[in-house]
Amino acid sequence: MRLTTQTDYALRMLMYLATQDGSRTIDEIASAYDISRNHLMKVAQRLAANDFIISQRGRGGGLTLAREPAEINIGAVIRMMENTDQFVECQMGSSNGCIITPVCGLQHMIRDAVDAFLNHLDQFTLEDALASRAEFKGIFVETAI
């Protein structure tokens, strides 16, 4: 299974916010990772709409985690960002154009594999993804120099 760029950016944004003090701006996160500000804005909107981060607009605003890293489940973030119900065409309901769907068992195998993948990630939190906050934070300090 390949995660979308938006999911990758969502996980990176959450990890960045978990290792920094206070609120951070989209521009700062984009610069830290050398990634698109526009893509991060869309990701931040989804994360805020789903209560993973808090977004404060205006002067002195920025982004912060809505919960402690130990309370943010990796599987939940991926489910929110990805369309895990439509991994292959036969799972796409009315837009399914595959003629073998009625007799094909592949869709069930894929559904089971995706479920196993997500169930495994449900065992981990954002805290688990941060092996060492100090080392993680140090990477951003080194790259800013």
The token duo for 44 is 């931040």
Q: Say yes or no to pLDDT of 42 above 80.
A: yes
pLDDT band for position 2 (cuts 50, 70, 90)? confident
Residue at token pair 């805290």? 127
The pTM (predicted TM-score) of the whole model is 0.84
pLDDT of residue 101: 76
CA distance 2 to 142: 29
Q: Of 23-32, 42-51, 130-139, give the lowest mean pLDDT range.
A: 130-139
The token duo for 7 is 């999911």
CA distance 125 to 131: 11
pLDDT of residue 145: 43
pLDDT of residue 83: 80
The two most distant CA atoms of the chain are separated, in Å, by 59
Domains within the chain, CATH numbers bracketed: 5-144 (1.10.10.10)
Instruction: Report which DSSP code applies to 90.
Output: G
